[in-house]
């Protein structure tokens, strides 16, 4: 097949994919959900009860997610990372019904546009509707993840609602459990008070060390950092409004310091 004809075929596939992509206006709902409410969720009894093969066509048997995007929203980060890390499984977790359905439909459309080829991009990305504050250990085994993402989480401005923030000492123990030594927690927000809250709690937790953006880029994680800044709907909104973003990243260490 000549180069010009091959380019035309590729463009046709892209056009078909665009037609299949779901429209966000049909999936809108509230910006945030109450994590303490009963959301009628189905979840596995343990990580061993989770059938990942149903989520990732073509993945090797026993292969499990390596990246987890907590509160993934409309899936911008997950979709950006999928082609960058074709050998890693990426999982978005979202509690809102309509939003999680949008991401699922988006993944289906992108896979269809790639003609179901198990080696094509987007076979390595999936989503579950889940309450990460309650059921995260039901999905991920000890030291199974290399990256956890908390991008523009609900700030819960009122002091009486701070207990609902996704970063807290109790939850950090769970994050440290499922993150392998050397794994990275990525946080970003446009709310300075929330940034200070997340940074301070992570700095004070004995199983995490601060890692700078410069160090991450030097380690070859620049593509991930760029995606954290720019791939989400919230991040793009902050840019349009010429707002400021605060990034804080932390590495899971091997042994707690005493």
Looking at residue 118, its pLDDT comes to 58
What pLDDT sits at residue 129? 93
pTM: 0.84
Confidence at residue 33, expressed as pLDDT on a 0 to 100 scale: 56
Q: Report the binding-site residues.
A: 71, 94-95, 131-132, 151, 232-234
Q: State the catalytic residue, choosing from 38, 105, 154, 196.
A: 154
Query: How far is 136 from 141, CA to CA, in rounded Å?
Result: 9
Handedness of CA 162, 167, 173, 175 (dihedral sign): positive
What's the mean pLDDT when you consider all of the chain? 86
The answer to whether the CB of 67 falls within 8 A of the CB of 145 is yes
- What is the bridge-based pairing of β-strands 90-94 and 67-70? parallel
Phi and psi of 50, rounded to 5°? -90, 125
pLDDT, tens digit, 9 for 90 and up, residues 206-229: 999 999 999 999 999 999 999 999
pLDDT of residue 164: 81
Residue 247 has pLDDT above 70, yes or no: yes
Residues of each annotated binding site for S-adenosyl-L-methionine: 71, 94-95, 131-132, 151, 232-234
Q: What pLDDT does 257 receive?
A: 52
Evaluate whether 20 touches 109 at the Cβ level (below 8 Å).
Answer: yes
Burial class (CB in 10 A: 0-12, 13-18, 19+), 145: buried
CATH number of the domain at 35-252, please?
A: 3.40.50.150
pLDDT tens sequence across 194-203: 999 999 999 9
Give catalytic status of residue 15 as yes or no.
no
Q: What is the pLDDT of residues 51-61, one digit of tens each?
A: 999 999 888 98
Cβ neighbours of residue 102 closer than 8 Å, sequence gap 6 or more = 22, 24, 27, 74, 75
């Amino acid at each position: 097949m000549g180069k010009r004809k091959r380019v035309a075929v590729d463009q046709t596939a892209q056009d078909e994919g665009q037609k299949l992509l779901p429209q966000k206006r049909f999936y809108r709902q509230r910006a945030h959900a109450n994590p303490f409410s009963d959301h009628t969720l189905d979840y596995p009894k343990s990580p061993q009860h989770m059938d990942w093969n149903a989520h990732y066509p073509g993945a090797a048997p026993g292969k499990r997610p390596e990246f987890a995007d907590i509160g993934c929203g409309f899936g911008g980060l997950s979709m950006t990372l999928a082609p960058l890390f074709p050998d890693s499984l990426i999982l978005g977790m979202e509690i809102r019904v309509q939003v999680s359905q949008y991401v699922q439909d988006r993944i289906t459309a992108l896979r269809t546009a790639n003609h179901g080829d198990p080696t094509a991009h987007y076979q390595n990305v999936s989503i579950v509707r889940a309450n990460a504050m309650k059921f995260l250990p039901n999905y991920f085994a000890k030291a199974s993840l290399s990256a956890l993402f908390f991008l523009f989480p609900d700030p819960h401005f009122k002091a009486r609602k701070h207990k609902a923030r996704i970063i807290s000492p109790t939850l950090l123990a769970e994050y440290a459990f499922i993150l392998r030594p050397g794994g990275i927690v990525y946080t970003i927000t446009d709310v300075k008070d929330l940034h200070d809250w997340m940074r301070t709690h992570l700095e004070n937790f004995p199983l995490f060390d601060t890692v700078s953006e410069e160090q991450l880029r030097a380690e070859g994680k620049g593509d991930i950092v760029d995606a954290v800044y720019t791939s989400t709907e919230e991040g793009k909104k902050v840019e349009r409004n010429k707002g400021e973003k605060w990034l804080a990243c932390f590495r899971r260490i091997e042994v707690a310091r005493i």
